[in-house]
Structure 1
């Protein structure tokens, strides 16, 4: 619920509108003169109710239902301009922006959950609610932090959707947010965005550049130990995609040991999934199946993206062996259906690329002219 630390005429008018009362009816409800309420509405942030009247307004807001609180927040946001904000900051250090920021932060937590479940429509709706609401110049440091965090999550949304335009949008969002976090002096966030930008490089096919960026970040003290271990794992991922499977295996094993030491079972399981693909790349099918079995038996794979990634890895390994080739293709179709339903464009394109490499595999070749049947 919204709270107001210091009332001015601006907040009082927003409350009247939220309660859907006329000036006269509002004055009667508060037990005040109509002229008092009219003064608030004409002077807005330039006037302050007396302390006893502030308490009356607190009570009126506290008794309002949830729908009225939502209308109050909306009206107050719409009525607030940069010039009015400047005036209000002279009156009080913590105006209604305090609860606006709280609502913003709560919505960002909801975005994180929505993205983890690939509920892109909800994530987009929540982010749109805030990203066009304020201009950077009118925000204090807390507001800038929330704006930058919103921009990061928008980049994540576009990256997860995976279109070519989406990757360019993600890069733009990450770069903009990185500049804000640099301005605010938050090095950990800056390093995390460097990591996200390296992921975009890898997804765009710039594998060598991505691997070098991951290597640098794997020893960057600005990042948490878990993020550094992930960077090390992703070095191996980029190398494996680039055909350097033996080197990738060594790097991934080091990352796997890091996850063991950090007690991160989900990351440890993903490391085995990546190792399976690297071992497949060098023709070690037995090793690939061993790592894949560990990944399948220990991983949670709850979200659509996690299911697509694990199912695609299974399909990639199984289709390598003539005995299990058809099983691999069936799993590949299953992964494609999940990716299409969840709107995972990058994963869908990767599956299509794998499918193209399967064409003609293990099919009998036509006999040469003159050869015996």
Structure 2
């Protein structure tokens, strides 16, 4: 809601127009003379009401509904435009207005959809229009929650784009979101950000660190059962990347059973994709191809990033057998094209790493990366 630190005739006129009152009606509403209102209207920012009248104006504004506040701020914005001759605005906005909370929430829902389709440019625009509009210091708890969600989603965007560490990275955004959520004392959201931070550690090559964080989160009651199962799956991915394929497979199988109990088909499919790579690492190509077939036939592939991950994993397995080497290279080539089209730089680097290692060792390809 808007507050005025110091009233002038400019703000008083903006309030009258917002209330949709005539000069006479407005005078009666405030309990002042018509001449006084006429003076404010004529001199605008060059005149200031008396202190007792300032308090009356404060009360009139405070009692107005949201629609009046919106019209009031719009009137002041228009009156304060360059060239209007209306003088300097003396109004501040104490955080988002009620309708802005709803719009902000809607934009976050739209951001989630945009990210699922790897429409990074649009998602970035949606997030930054709010992160740039309000500073945390001027937000109440509801505003801070939306700010933290926006910052966490910005981290997701940066992660999917491959900006893992650095000043403009997923790591930094997640740290900012975690600080705000900790301040608000929302343990579940804090733990979810911790899970995202562990993913970043894994993607940046800190496999032991990531595995330890996943192990802790897999039994963390702050998280939902699904998130704990995802943490268990990702323990397996970190272990597999670190060469511990047999134990990784056992951990992943436990996660698969959990996803089946939870009736989470997409997670169940992704888990088979990860398990396929663990089997490949252990040299069991028959089991790897069987799990890969399950992942490819049951998973949702509407998301470009998931198509790239599936094709990259499939191509990686095919490269491990000289008989399917050419097929593997073709699958990886298609995955690289989609990754380039959608700006999936981390996936592009993974594909190039697999190709380069295959070229050096003739099929003995490098450990898979997320």
Whether the TM-score (by the shorter chain) exceeds 0.5 is yes
CA offset digits 1:74-108 (Å, max 9, x no partner)? 949x99x998456xxxxxxxx96222222111111
Of 167-176 and 110-119, more deviation after overlay is shown by 167-176
Q: Secondary structure at the match of 1:323?
A: helix
Q: Is 1:282 the equivalent of 2:272?
A: no
Contact 1:144–1:180 under 8 Å retained in 2: yes
CA offset digits 1:161-214 (Å, max 9, x no partner)? 103556962111111111111111100011011101101100110001100100
Contact 1:158–1:167 under 8 Å retained in 2: no
Contact 1:7–1:54 under 8 Å retained in 2: no
Match of 2:180 in 1: 180
Q: 1:347 to 1:73 in 2, by over 3 A?
A: farther
Match of 1:316 in 2: 316
Contact 2:4–2:92 under 8 Å retained in 1: no
Contact 1:159–1:166 under 8 Å retained in 2: no
Q: 1:182 to 1:362 in 2, by over 3 A?
A: closer
How many Å apart are 1:136 and its aligned residue? 1.5
Partners in 1 of 2:157 and 2:123 — Cα distance? 8
- The alignment's TM-score, normalised by the length of structure 1, stands at 0.78
Q: Which runs of 5+ in 1 are unaligned?
A: 18-22, 62-68, 87-94, 364-373
Q: What are the equivalent positions in structure 2 for 1:20-35 lying under 5 Å apart? A: 30=20, 32-33=22-23, 35=37
Q: Is 1:97 the equivalent of 2:97?
A: yes
CA offset digits 1:264-322 (Å, max 9, x no partner)? 00000001101110001111010001101111110111111000000101101111111
CA offset digits 1:233-275 (Å, max 9, x no partner)? 0000011111111010000000000000100000000011011
Q: What are the equivalent positions in structure 2 for 1:339-354 lying under 5 Å apart? A: 339-354=339-354
Contact 2:336–2:348 under 8 Å retained in 1: yes
Equivalenced residues, count: 332
Match of 2:129 in 1: 129
Of 165-174 and 101-110, more deviation after overlay is shown by 165-174
Of 107-116 and 246-255, more deviation after overlay is shown by 107-116
How many Å apart are 1:33 and its aligned residue? 2.3
Match of 1:304 in 2: 304
Contact 1:5–1:96 under 8 Å retained in 2: no
Q: Secondary structure at the match of 2:222?
A: coil
Match of 1:90 in 2: none
Q: Which runs of 5+ in 2 are unaligned?
A: 25-36, 82-88, 364-370
Match of 2:264 in 1: 264
Match of 1:65 in 2: none
- The alignment's TM-score, normalised by the length of structure 2, stands at 0.78
Root-mean-square deviation (CA, aligned residues, Å) is: 3.9
Of 174-183 and 224-233, more deviation after overlay is shown by 174-183
Partners in 2 of 1:279 and 1:243 — Cα distance? 11
Match of 1:253 in 2: 253
